[in-house]
Amino acid sequence: MPKLFSPLWGLTVLCLAFGLTPSNAAQLAASIEYETVARPADLPHDFQPLPGTSLKFLSIKTIDGFMVNAAFWQPEAKPPAETTLIIMVHGSGGSYARPPNSTLSRSLSGNGFAALAIKTRQHDDKRNTDNFFDISRDIDASVQTARALGYRSIVLQGHSLGTIQVLFYAATNWEHDIKAVVQLSAIADLPWRSRYLQIQDEDKFRALSDAALKSLHEGKERDVMALRMRRTGSVEEPLTGGHFLTYRAEASGSANGTYWIKRVPRPILIVRDAGDAIITPFEPYVLLSAATSPGSLVPSIKFTLLPNPAGPNPGGHFFADNVKPLSEAITSWLADQHL
């Protein structure tokens, strides 16, 4: 398993070889590691690469020991140093095996781009159990792995909840090999959205806030709370105190895309399906306003709205009716960025 850390650990070996105490030598505190693993058994049969491309599966250990699973798509005719790699971050409870990342990674690899689609620590049934800041470790481990694999041009792509996670990372990591950011079904201000569009009950919101704060003070912020949070309509879902405090609470939550987007020093593409029944039509414009406000670091930003004759529908959030137009919109924009 390749380890991504400084070779200074070799000093310890030299000290031992010469009979010197290693106590004053450099020591390894933590590392990021990755390895190729077998294809997961639960993937659908059609989760296959296009002709001229390859698909591998990676297991990536983050700096804090979490294991990130990833699908790694590559065009076979291009070396990594000459290929732009797109790191794909899914939305709430998503994965690399679900749209839009599952279809996009396949399509973009066929158009000459590599894709590293990951499962963050809030994938599938782990929805609402994560701390917002911990997801940055999952993204960073993926970026470091991409570099170790030889890629020198990296694009960060987020979908739904993943858009804010990607914005936070891009705003706080300015390395020059991170070339651009793509936002799909982008959320503007999640704490505001959670309070006024999802929960829609001030008494319930205060009760959730009190319970989350109590869990933090008792050291139980990683435990699922007894109270549930309204998601859509009459549907409620479990969550941890740490998730509520870092994502949903206006006083302490940091999942605000309008704050982070103006601090991203890279070109940004926002794409929304007109049939998206989850993201409200005004949210991309709120992000556009923030990104073009005085003092913003964003050098350029483009918003693309993909028509959907079916109107608002559950699949619109995942671009189910716009698989090809979505891929074309991203490919065209990346070409405009000379990527």
266 and 183, same structural domain?
yes
Is residue 4 scored above 70 in pLDDT?
no
Is residue 12 scored above 50 in pLDDT?
no
pLDDT value of residue 48:
96
147 and 117, same structural domain?
yes
* Distance, CA of 242 to CA of 326 (rounded, Å): 34
pLDDT value of residue 28:
87
Tens of pLDDT along 34-54? 999 999 999 999 999 999 999
What is the domain range of residue 17?
A: 1-30
pTM for the predicted model, two decimal places: 0.92
Tens of pLDDT along 165-187? 999 999 999 999 999 999 999 99
Query: Mean of the per-residue pLDDT values for the chain?
Result: 93
Q: Look up the CATH number of the domain holding residue 155.
A: 3.40.50.1820
Share of the chain above pLDDT 70, in %: 93
Tens of pLDDT along 265-275? 999 999 999 99
37 and 7, same structural domain?
no
Count of domains observed in the chain: 3
Average pLDDT over residues 208-224: 98
160 and 50, same structural domain?
yes
pLDDT value of residue 330:
98
239 and 156, same structural domain?
no
Greater model confidence, 219 or 13: 219
55 and 24, same structural domain?
no
181 and 78, same structural domain?
yes
Contacts of 172 (CB under 8 A, 6+ apart): 136, 263
Cβ neighbour number for residue 196 with a 10 Å cutoff = 13
* Distance, CA of 178 to CA of 172 (rounded, Å): 12
145 and 271, same structural domain?
yes
24 and 120, same structural domain?
no
Phi, psi of 91, rounded to the nearest 5 degrees: -90, -165
pLDDT value of residue 70:
98
Q: Please report which confidence band the pLDDT of residue 14 belongs to, taking 50, 70 and 90 as the band edges.
A: very low
224 and 103, same structural domain?
no
* Distance, CA of 131 to CA of 246 (rounded, Å): 6
CA dihedral over 158, 160, 166, 167, signed as positive or negative: positive
40 and 26, same structural domain?
no
Long-range contacts of range 223-226, CB-CB < 8 Å, 24 or more positions apart? 224/129
243 and 133, same structural domain?
no
